[in-house]
Structure 1
């Protein structure tokens, strides 16, 4: 509970509520916790609201409560297909107004009249003007799409988007009468002899095709491929990208760019020399060196970029640029500026995309800007080939992409989308049983009101790009579409507050774009999630996530397989835990002790982990999944038999579990203390496993035989 000096006043609570800030929350231990007044003021400040005094609070409250009445139309209206939506229209009281709808050109266009509803709302005096509200009803038979509502009259001249979203995303027909399983892989860690030191998009194509053809897998879930910095050092975390919309060119396979085959002998030598510096890293069991890889690849790709393209290839490049529009232009410009100012602070003027300096840079850096556009086109082509290879291998879904929660505070999204991101706060998570100090992910959150004023277009554009070549998409921390834990500047991760978002709009637009792409959506709904949220997502056709070690009965024991939710992606483990072999050995406890992340005595945590493991092994024996004196491999397979016994429609299998890897890819709550996101795929002895040998691994073949028995 907040102490008396930190207890918010009623006026501050009212203002916070008007901006969607929750004044309390339930902790992972079941205790209700109040948010302090200082935290509320900090979060309001990040929203651009001054709550520093009672007078300022009163002024801000009056402003926010009058704001809807100042607008003729809402900035955007989001409605489910098959339902009547309502559009409030504000005009000078007594004035007439005509309202109609222009349909999305993608569904044929046209005009639809909208009828006024018989709803009376008391007029309101705003800024000295008496404002009335007329309510208009949208037809229930509107097609899916992005339409436009118009209002015209003596005191009205406005238009706003109307987004009609699917009532529910249905599973593809191929998954309606059977369960499906697939591998989960950190792509950068899965290498071949031709990988230049990091798993790439050619490796993704091979991994997808081989997983489908040789193992019968239906999908391949990979880490986010979002773009990192165009210069070194490269941030290793795929969950802290510079942008979530575009792809990291680090994953491009240079030799697979068509123009590489037609290079002159001299230019080909330059490419080969670049490759020589990193090809040996493919078999190195040490941390992945992204800086060395990108230095070599960038040099080689610059040579290929300078080579002439055929007329058809050039036309395809031009079409890609037109499709991606200003978003691609802005990202490429940011990349070119990042190269110009590499290693030093950007001038203040360069931080403003509309400044004179940046305008001049568009001309001065035109060649580099075009290079970065070209990199995105090449990556897009290779992503398309990887998805097609996965489908050709027999997969039902193909590649399942992952969408990170946010982007780097100094990255391309923060630069280009500053008007829809909040400043003065970062996204994180309150304390939980695995991170008892809370987490600060350092990413600026969407500003809820600003994003709505932008009609959610930045969010939509991001989704469209990620879904271009996806059979499914996993939304990391899907609760962020409902609420996010904001950590105000200068506060610890435990001193944050939840800020609510318009989930009907965010989930609806996600469903619309996934429907158009033909993709399945999975929401990572682990941790403290209000029960109604899971019900809502299920109602909308968004699958949830179940991890064996996190699923418990009310009595505290492991959740019985038959009690799992049907509409989930069920897994034994996750990338934030050690692979199963390491978890069974208690390495998650040893690692957190070594890194100083425990808030309880290590003996207590170790004993709890031992009880958890022994109880699970006992239950596996009771179910007949495990015999006496089992080997490590047999226990891991038994854990997968447990998950296979659930009604869950999707089953994810960590590729690390399939080869006996013991090392964690990531330890939440750390930065430089652990080689997060740098661990190459290896077996239990630490021997690197390359794609050429992966599918002949006896351990993988044994686990696959277990998985294939589910059907």
Structure 2
């Protein structure tokens, strides 16, 4: 194969031939990398559709003409449109930009489109943008604000060492009583019941279902029933639960085992013989997707006990790799009790989550729960097993080499196949959005640039051997807006790092808010921007789960961890890093003092606090008020900052040494926000949001 043919194939598949690193230097993707990536992409490509046939889905915008990907000769032909509400519309196609086009359609939704003798297609008509925070919070005298929390870190008596949705509901009601309009939570995607050692919420088995460990048994069973089930497990079990609950860090393997042990007893004794109608209805509504997820969990547990190969469905016996095989059907019958257990777990989790969302709204939150959608899924998980043609099996996603990660990053996840998405009318993407929007008032999309492009790496290759793969960003953004409208929910896109101006502009036009994080809101000269200059199309934040807390940043806790774990960039002198942080402290304190309202300045010294715990306490309070005054329509404060904690939930680039996703909050969910210092920070935040 000559280079010209290879280049043409790569461009047709959406692969970039070159990429620019963080220093601005241009690199070329090797021919070998292109060949390996094309083997994956073309292996997932469906047969090409005839030029005269419509794709499975055409996506347009309400009130605008929709150009159809048909040959120009079809202009003037007739079309028939059946709207979701049953209304039928017939007419003639017009010509736009050299292609036939539909006249404007004013009704949003998924409609049936027929053009001539071609097979029908789905016409998705989206609103111009997602619901805006200003509309959702209209009528209030204070600009919207909320908290961000790691679900697993919350505490409740009897939780067995892992936070659950019951604790989230308690926190939501407490936060709402203090004026919060939203509560953003860490991803709650389904993990692997038989693989408790995998607990990063951003490495899920499926984004279509929920993490059973977050289910609150009290959402279905009364306290006496739950306590009786605990006691029946024996004294050693009860003692273990107490040890796990008292620990400062989560022991995921032991705590997960105990949680599923309790759920199994409740299922066996209270559910299995006669599932309640609510669970039967849930199972029926979940359909084939729910059955396949529950079946996968049972299969995964079965094969995981039979050697290392069993943990990856791609290494199961060939017949068991296919969800629709007769052998899998026989397994489902033989192990029906186990399959139904996993249906029960999903029902319990969904019921728990619904209670959280209802509780938040009842308590007065104008937005409610904001869920988090991970950028990809584990290729060995249930979603990839069930929908193999729709994911890029054989490739992983990550990031190219940069100053902080000279070898690049491989996240061990995979993503949608662009060709598979088009061939199925974006089915997998829409289903993922619907799962994310279910019950909540908002959705945060992790690594939102994935709507436009992702760095993909051939299986077994180094990150540097990857390339950017493009996605149909216009259609995907429109579908986000359509699903957000149907859920009446707002959308936040995680747009930190390398994001083009054009993408941010397009996202803003579609109502996908960006993220303005305190540490990154700087001028080209390195000075911190005043909050009035922050973007009106973004959410204001003190920090994120991947960044230092304000107290940790001020004290240099993150630098200390990097030094301890040898995570500093090659050639960087630690003293230089400490000097830079000291300069940044001076710049931040100067910005905080310059923007401080006169009422807050009374009795306070403008002298920069020392980089210790006492100094950090002063900085945290000032920073919360500062971010609260941001021009952004929504401000979200991490609970870690509201509590003045120095440790962050996750230290990116580490897999050991730092307790990623293991920290628990220092207090029960019901009283977590009641401390004197925390109440004072709430006062500063509320004052900031009321400030115009």
Normalised TM-score (structure 1): 0.87
Q: How far apart in 2 are the matches of 1:119 and 1:695? A: 58
Q: How far apart in 2 are the matches of 1:40 and 1:310? A: 52
Equivalent residue in structure 2 for 1:269, among 222, 227, 231: 231
Q: How far apart in 1 are the matches of 2:544 and 2:220? A: 34
The equivalent of 1:75 in structure 2 is 56
2:304 is paired with a residue of what secondary structure? coil
Q: Does 1:229 align with 2:192?
A: yes
The equivalent of 1:608 in structure 2 is 580
Change (3 A) 1:304 1:114: farther
The equivalent of 2:39 in structure 1 is 45
Q: How far apart in 2 are the matches of 1:306 and 1:260? A: 17
Q: Does 1:110 align with 2:87?
A: yes
Change (3 A) 1:694 1:702: same
The equivalent of 1:477 in structure 2 is 447
In the TM superposition, residue 94 of structure 1 has moved relative to its aligned partner by 10
The equivalent of 1:60 in structure 2 is none
Change (3 A) 1:578 1:95: closer
Q: How far apart in 2 are the matches of 1:16 and 1:247? A: 37
The equivalent of 1:5 in structure 2 is none
Q: Does 1:623 align with 2:595?
A: yes
1:244 is paired with a residue of what secondary structure? strand
1:67 is paired with a residue of what secondary structure? coil
CA contact (8 A) 1:114 1:136 kept: no
Q: How far apart in 1 are the matches of 2:21 and 2:75? A: 51
The equivalent of 1:187 in structure 2 is 151
**Aligned length, in residue pairs:** 662
CA contact (8 A) 2:77 2:93 kept: no
Change (3 A) 1:324 1:206: same
The equivalent of 2:426 in structure 1 is 456
Change (3 A) 1:276 1:112: farther
In the TM superposition, residue 98 of structure 1 has moved relative to its aligned partner by 5.9
Matches within 5 A, 1:534-613: 534-597=504-567, 598-603=569-574, 604-613=576-585
In the TM superposition, residue 179 of structure 1 has moved relative to its aligned partner by 1.7
Change (3 A) 1:342 1:491: closer
Q: Decide which moves more: 406-415 or 136-145.
A: 136-145
Matches within 5 A, 1:661-676: 661-676=645-660
Q: Decide which moves more: 577-586 or 614-623.
A: 614-623
Matches within 5 A, 1:321-336: 321-336=283-298
The equivalent of 2:400 in structure 1 is 430
Equivalent residue in structure 2 for 1:348, among 274, 298, 318: 318
The equivalent of 2:629 in structure 1 is 645
Q: How far apart in 2 are the matches of 1:142 and 1:692? A: 47
Q: How far apart in 2 are the matches of 1:422 and 1:469? A: 29
CA contact (8 A) 2:540 2:636 kept: yes
2:528 is paired with a residue of what secondary structure? coil
Q: How far apart in 2 are the matches of 1:69 and 1:416? A: 28
The equivalent of 1:339 in structure 2 is 301
Q: Any idea what the Cα deviations from partners look like across 1:28-53, whole Å, max 9, x if unmatched? A: 23333333333322322221269xxx
2:546 is paired with a residue of what secondary structure? coil
Change (3 A) 1:362 1:48: same
The equivalent of 1:164 in structure 2 is 125
The equivalent of 2:163 in structure 1 is 199
In the TM superposition, residue 279 of structure 1 has moved relative to its aligned partner by 3.4
Q: Decide which moves more: 239-248 or 495-504.
A: 495-504
CA contact (8 A) 2:168 2:356 kept: yes
CA contact (8 A) 2:131 2:484 kept: no
Equivalent residue in structure 1 for 2:26, among 13, 19, 32: 32
Q: Any idea what the Cα deviations from partners look like across 1:540-573, whole Å, max 9, x if unmatched? A: 1111111111222122332332221112111121
Query: Can you give the 5+ residue segments of structure 1 that lack an aligned partner in the other structure?
Result: 1-7, 51-62, 122-134, 682-687
The equivalent of 2:313 in structure 1 is none
CA contact (8 A) 2:13 2:42 kept: no
Change (3 A) 1:663 1:464: same
CA contact (8 A) 1:114 1:137 kept: no
Q: How far apart in 1 are the matches of 2:57 and 2:125? A: 11
Q: How far apart in 1 are the matches of 2:333 and 2:274? A: 27
Q: Any idea what the Cα deviations from partners look like across 1:438-463, whole Å, max 9, x if unmatched? A: 22111112110111111111221222
Q: How far apart in 2 are the matches of 1:216 and 1:488? A: 48
The equivalent of 1:281 in structure 2 is 244
In the TM superposition, residue 96 of structure 1 has moved relative to its aligned partner by 12
Change (3 A) 1:84 1:326: same
Q: How far apart in 2 are the matches of 1:266 and 1:639? A: 47
Q: What is the aligned-residue RMSD (CA, Å)?
A: 2.8
1:647 is paired with a residue of what secondary structure? coil
Q: Any idea what the Cα deviations from partners look like across 1:642-689, whole Å, max 9, x if unmatched? A: 2223201111111111222222211112223422111112xxxxxx32
Equivalent residue in structure 2 for 1:636, among 613, 617, 620: 620
The equivalent of 1:59 in structure 2 is none
Query: Can you give the 5+ residue segments of structure 2 that lack an aligned partner in the other structure?
Result: 310-315, 610-614
Q: How far apart in 1 are the matches of 2:277 and 2:74? A: 55
1:543 is paired with a residue of what secondary structure? strand
Q: Does 1:220 align with 2:199?
A: no
Matches within 5 A, 1:297-376: 297-307=259-269, 314-343=276-305, 344=307, 345=309, 346-376=316-346
Q: Decide which moves more: 623-632 or 416-425.
A: 623-632
In the TM superposition, residue 272 of structure 1 has moved relative to its aligned partner by 7.6
Q: Any idea what the Cα deviations from partners look like across 1:89-136, whole Å, max 9, x if unmatched? A: 479x999986422222xxx12322242335797xxxxxxxxxxxxx54
